[in-house]
Amino acid sequence: MRESARYAWWLVIFLFALTIFANMAVFLKLFTQGSGGSLRENNDSLAINFTVRYALVVHQFAPTVPVATLLSSLDEQNSWEVQVSSAVVRAYFGLEGATKLLSQAEALPSQLLSPAQRRWYTELWHKTLAEPITAEAIPTRLQLLQPTTSPLVLRLTEAILWQKAGDKARAEQIQNELLASSLPRMLLFGLLLGLVGLAFFGGVVFVPMFLLFVKRGTWKAPSQLLERASPFALDPLLWGIVIFMLLILNLGYLVSTLEGLGIPDAGAIGYLIAVAVPLWFLVAMQNQSGEWSQLRWFRKALWRDVGASLFGYSAYLPFLFIALLIAISISGALPAEQTNPIGERFEQTPTLGYFVWTFIQAAVLAPIIEEFLFRGVLFGVLWQRTGNLWLSAFVSGYLFAVIHPQFLGGIIALTIFGMIMALTYAYTRSLLPCILMHAYNNGILTLFLLAFS
């Protein structure tokens, strides 16, 4: 098996080079042939949904808080879609300024509409919010307005129209439904924000302490992952990465084949195959004789591993905050199609089963397979080969980032995250803290998107 490891090295280099080249090609294509909108504009719908739900909950439980203050963040956005949504929310709460916002919106850029369409739809929104309407005309009006706004804002519009048509009972029913769907989302958001905020301030303290320990030599990493083994001991494990990359790069063909065989849920089955086969290979390898069989993925120290995962995730959050500030500052220049792989699943309202599968895939399966391969194998092989902990952590973190096609909007944060998980693995010699950190990150992101969607 060791003799074939050199081929695994060349295949790993080729597959990652291919992935990097493909990402660069896609990114350049988005710049030149994208919709013309920016990543910042693409996130407007999330901002609108959050602001609307937040205003609904605050207005219900703290009526003394002026809703206009809550809408100020929307009023500052130079987008036709945001201005129209803000006008609808103002009309829904009976605030002044809806007509003025619509008048201003006509001159603002739109992500989807041509100038002629923008003028026509602006006039239609003027008519919708300012003029009476009959009950019979409401379904047709809503159908006409549907392409220009989010389902949540359209639902607000429906409540306004039924109120105008004199059916106050139906308008109140819609209002109650909106509040009932918004309250648990805002409670979830508040809980997540509190937990992340607490972890963030913990990280502000932990990172300087850790760096101080490293400087003083209190914690000094060994020169290799397996100190009594050769630098080439772990090379055969690279075949696990080769198998995973080949399956992921050809996942579309695998799913199409499964669909052709009449297998239900082919997408889920295909992803499970891409996860299970590399893991099976690594387990089979560890049961064979060889220096690599000395490697242990886990240690019998559950609470220490849980503590290390919380420490590591807290240490990551300050860096994530800085990376997000950088991403936000350049988001106006990034193409709108650049999005988060998890976020793509929430572009349309998911069913409960769809959300559960997304959560399992993001917060359970992905952390397990990616930590085995990128920390357990790739980082371990690089560290064993080079004897340089920090360089190995950086390279494995960067390659971990490039398989997540988030381009400039996410590659900095993911590289840092990969490095911190690699250092955590080096300290604990266990993959469990890394899996837990990865699960925290993806799980919280998935729940945040559920609250915003």
Q: pLDDT band for position 323 (50/70/90)? A: confident
Distance CA 301, CA 312 (A): 16
pLDDT higher at 104 or 159 = 159
**Quick one: pLDDT at residue 425?**
93
**Quick one: pLDDT at residue 136?**
92
| Mean pLDDT on 91-103 | 83
Q: Of 346, 362, 77, 380, which is closest to residue 226 (Cα–Cα)?
A: 380
In whole angstroms, how large is the CA radius of gyration of the chain? 26
> How crowded is residue 202: how many other Cβ atoms within 10 Å of its Cβ?
17
For residue 2 the two structure tokens come to: 């060791």
- Farthest CA pair distance, the chain: 83
Q: pLDDT band for position 38 (50/70/90)? A: low
Distance CA 128, CA 118 (A): 15
pLDDT at residue 403 greater than cutoff 70: yes
| CA angle centred on 285, ends 282 and 287, rounded to 5° | 115
**Quick one: pLDDT at residue 336?**
55
Q: Of 356, 370, 357, which is closest to residue 400 (Cα–Cα)?
A: 370
**Quick one: pLDDT at residue 66?**
79
- Beta bridge partners, 149, equal none
pLDDT higher at 40 or 216 = 216
Distance CA 133, CA 434 (A): 58
pLDDT digit string (tens) for 267-310? Answer: 888 889 999 999 999 988 888 877 778 888 888 889 999 999 99
Q: Of 362, 368, 319, 367, which is closest to residue 448 (Cα–Cα)?
A: 362
Q: Please tell me what DSSP assigns to residue 376.
A: I
Distance CA 279, CA 247 (A): 13
Q: Of 308, 302, 303, 313, which is closest to residue 428 (Cα–Cα)?
A: 308
pLDDT at residue 344 greater than cutoff 70: no
Q: 19: exposed, middle or buried (C-beta count within 10 Å: 0-12, 13-18, 19+)?
A: middle
Distance CA 200, CA 307 (A): 15
pLDDT higher at 383 or 31 = 383
Q: Which residues contact 385 (CB under 8 A, 6 or more apart)?
A: 231, 232, 235
Residue 161 · residue 88 · CB < 8 Å: no
| Helix runs in 77-167, H state only | 80-92, 98-105, 115-130, 138-145, 151-164
Name the packing angle between helices 151-164 and 80-92 (round to 10°). Answer: 40
Residue 342 · residue 449 · CB < 8 Å: yes
Of all residues in the chain, what percent carry a pLDDT higher than 90? Answer: 36
pLDDT at residue 383 greater than cutoff 80: yes
pLDDT digit string (tens) for 120-175? Answer: 998 999 899 888 899 999 999 999 998 888 888 899 999 999 999 989 999 999 99
| Mean pLDDT on 17-32 | 79
Average pLDDT of the chain to the nearest whole number: 84
Q: pLDDT band for position 12 (50/70/90)? A: very high
For residue 76 the two structure tokens come to: 């500052």
Distance CA 322, CA 329 (A): 11
- In order of 100, 112, 117, the CA distances from 121 in angstroms are 15, 12, 6
Distance CA 76, CA 67 (A): 15
pLDDT digit string (tens) for 204-253? Answer: 888 888 777 777 776 677 778 888 888 888 999 999 999 999 998 888 88
**Quick one: pLDDT at residue 75?**
60
**Quick one: pLDDT at residue 334?**
61
Q: Would you put residue 414 in left (φ > 0), alpha (ψ -120 to 50) or beta? A: alpha
Distance CA 83, CA 10 (A): 53
| CA angle centred on 449, ends 444 and 453, rounded to 5° | 155
340: helix, strand or coil: coil
**Quick one: pLDDT at residue 276?**
93
Residue 122 · residue 53 · CB < 8 Å: no
pLDDT digit string (tens) for 167-197? Answer: 999 999 999 999 998 899 889 889 999 999 9
**Quick one: pLDDT at residue 156?**
92
**Quick one: pLDDT at residue 173?**
94
SS3 labels along 222-274: CCCCCCCCCCCCCHHHHHHHHHHHHHHHCHHHHHHHHHHCCCCCHHHHHHHHH
Distance CA 237, CA 377 (A): 6
448: amino acid identity, one letter: F
